[in-house]
Structure 1
């Protein structure tokens, strides 16, 4: 079986990988996050006892 020269295949593989990473990096950096993180509420919630439907 003849062996292929790995040099052009390695270059093609690396260039394809770089191009895909650039495309996906640009896509991920341009994402907009609509939900901003909210601060926890400082007020304590009023504790309410549980009500069970069978009791």
Structure 2
């Protein structure tokens, strides 16, 4: 069963992870998000209990 031989597949997995970690990931992390979070104050709304008609 040649598919159980880990020699070529381990190298492919290692090369793809190194490519992702060293090349692609820094390029993706350099982008700035389009909607940066703003420093809005949180407002709490007053909640009223629901008046059920059958109680």
Tell me the TM-score normalised to structure 2 length: 0.42
Structure of higher CA gyration radius: 1
More helix by share: 2
